[in-house]
Amino acid sequence: MIINELITVFDRDLNKLKFEIESYKNPAAVWKIEKSIANSGGNLCLHLVGNLNAYIGVGLANTNYLRKRDLEFSRKNIPQSALITQIEETMVVVHSGLSNLTGPKLSEDFPIVIWEKPSNMAFTLIHLATHLNYHLGQINYHRRLLDD
């Protein structure tokens, strides 16, 4: 069933996000921007945590998360340990939300309208997984290029 595969993919990629943030040797480098690199690894991490909590958390795990998207890109100098804690908490929320799904629900609309009109549950979850993976790759490159 695709739900188990989605849980596996989100677990894998959130664990990889945690690994990437932990792997910065210089804690200040998590927040470094340079030349045309506009988003730091730390801000991309906050963005991913915010995105997943806003959609899977609120929409599927029935949390009361209130997203402040602007802060995902403007907050700086949060300790690596706090980022790791946020990732771990997000992992629990995502797992809970996906575990609430049943096969028939995958053909329904996602409970939150993200774009201009309702979207299919399966499509939205695949989109959220690929969004996570896209920014995960950016964080990996950010770390390898800018970690002193």
- The average confidence (pLDDT) of the chain is 96
DSSP 23: T
Between CA 110 and CA 61 the distance in angstroms is 12
Confidence label for 1 from pLDDT (cuts 50, 70 and 90): low
Residue 145 confidence (pLDDT) above 80: yes
Summarize pLDDT for 12-42 with one digit per residue, the tens: 999 999 999 999 999 999 999 999 999 999 9
pLDDT at site 91: 98
Cβ neighbours, 10 Å, residue 19: 13
Dihedral angle of Cα 139, 19, 78, 33, to the nearest 10 degrees: -20
Between CA 58 and CA 56 the distance in angstroms is 6
Residue 133 confidence (pLDDT) above 70: yes
Summarize pLDDT for 81-117 with one digit per residue, the tens: 999 999 999 999 999 999 999 989 999 999 999 999 9
Confidence label for 122 from pLDDT (cuts 50, 70 and 90): very high
Summarize pLDDT for 55-77 with one digit per residue, the tens: 999 999 999 999 999 999 999 99
pLDDT at site 148: 79
For the chain, domains (ranges, CATH) are 2-146 (1.20.120.450)
